[in-house]
Amino acid sequence: MRTTALAFTLPLFLFTDLASAADGCAPLKTTINADNRHVYQELVQSALTEKVKLATIDITEVLAEDKWLAVFASTEISDPGVFFFNDNKFIDVWGGMVEAKEKRTVTQWTHGLHVPGTLTQCFFKGIVIK
């Protein structure tokens, strides 16, 4: 999944609706502000094979569990995607939306990366077409 442009087929964030506190995802949501936005932009930039300016990397959501991060981002050279990092090391990126019936495929992919369970569930809720 690592490509030069990291181009994806669907506008991921038009449908993003991360869960509320009632379903367990709220504790994973990280507030994005002026103090930490550049950290997430730098992580995404380090994952790209084609470098872009930090200011052109849009971070829309960050989920964190243990040492894992799921960074929802888009750049000037790619459609939106979810970048996975473990201990700030790039692991892989997911691009595109899925239907609810594709949950097994998504969870198998994340389990293959060893993404923690709650982060997997919240990531799925963020990419499923409502």
Residues 100-129 pLDDT 10s:
999 999 999 999 999 999 999 999 999 998
pTM of the model: 0.82
Annotated domain spans of the chain: 12-127
Average of per-residue pLDDT values in the chain? 85
C-alpha separations of 49 from 8, 71, 74 in Å: 15, 17, 14
If you search the block for the tokens 């790619």, which residue do you land on?
78
In degrees, to the nearest 5, what angle opens at C-alpha 128 toward C-alphas 96 and 73? 45
The domain made up of 12-127 has a fold known as Nuclear Transport Factor 2; Chain: A, (3.10.450)
Mean pLDDT of all residues in 11-29: 58
Predicted pLDDT at 19 = 37
Predicted confidence (pLDDT) at residue 30 exceeds the cutoff of 80: yes
